[in-house]
Amino acid sequence: MTGSRPRIVVCRWIPDEALALLREAGDVWVPDPDRALPPGELHEVLAGADAAVTTLSERVDGTFADAAGPQLKVVANVAVGYDNVDVPALAERGVTVTNTPGVLTDATADIAFGLLLSATRRLGEGERLLRARTPWSFHLGFMLGTGIQGATLGVIGLGQIGRAMATRARAFGMNIVYSGRRQAPADVEAQLEATYLPQDELLRTADIVSLHCPLTPETRHLIDADALAAMKPTAFLINTTRGPVVDEAALAAALRDGVIAGAGLDVFEQEPDVHPGLLELDNVAMAPHLGSATVETRTAMATLAARNALAVLAGEPALTEVTP
Q: Which residues bind ligand 8YV (CB under 6 A)?
A: 55-56, 78-81, 104, 291-292
Does residue 23 have an active-site annotation?
A: no
Strand partners, 237: 209, 263
Distance of closest approach, residue 80 Cβ to ligand 8YV, in angstroms: 4
Q: Tell me the longest C-alpha to C-alpha distance in the chain.
A: 73
182 is catalytic: no
- Of 135, 124, 159, 133, residue with least CA distance to 263: 124
Question: What are the C-alpha distances in Å from 30 to residues 12, 15, 53, 82, 100?
Answer: 7, 12, 10, 21, 20
Q: Closer to ligand 8YV at the Cβ: 262 or 291?
A: 291
Q: Which one, 203 or 215, has the nearer CB to ligand 8YV? A: 215
Among residues 122 and 307, whose Cβ is nearest to ligand 8YV?
Answer: 307
Compute the Cα dihedral for 15, 17, 23, 26 and give only its sign. negative
| 289 in active site | yes
> What is the nearest approach in angstroms of ligand 8YV to the Cβ of residue 64?
15
> Is 78 or 116 the residue whose CB approaches ligand 8YV more closely?
78
| Paired residues of 236 in beta bridges | 208, 262
Alpha carbons 177 and 132: distance in angstroms, whole number: 39
CB of 252 to ligand 8YV, least distance (A): 22
C-beta of 244: minimal distance to ligand 8YV in Å? 12
Residue of 7, 242, 275, 298 with catalytic role: 242
Name the active-site residue from 43, 93, 220, 271: 271
3-class secondary structure per residue, 183-197: CCCHHHHHHHCEEEC
Minimum Å gap between C-beta 256 and ligand 8YV is 27
Cβ-based nearer residue to ligand 8YV, 114 or 291: 291
Give CA–CA dist 252/11, Å, rounded: 34
* Contact between residue 96 and residue 76 where contact means Cβ atoms under 8 Å apart: no
DSSP symbols for 237-274: EEE-S-GGGB-HHHHHHHHHHTSSSEEEES--TBTTB-
Catalytic residue among 43, 121, 289, 321: 289
Coil, helix or strand at residue 294 = coil
Q: Annotated catalytic sites, by residue?
A: 242, 271, 289
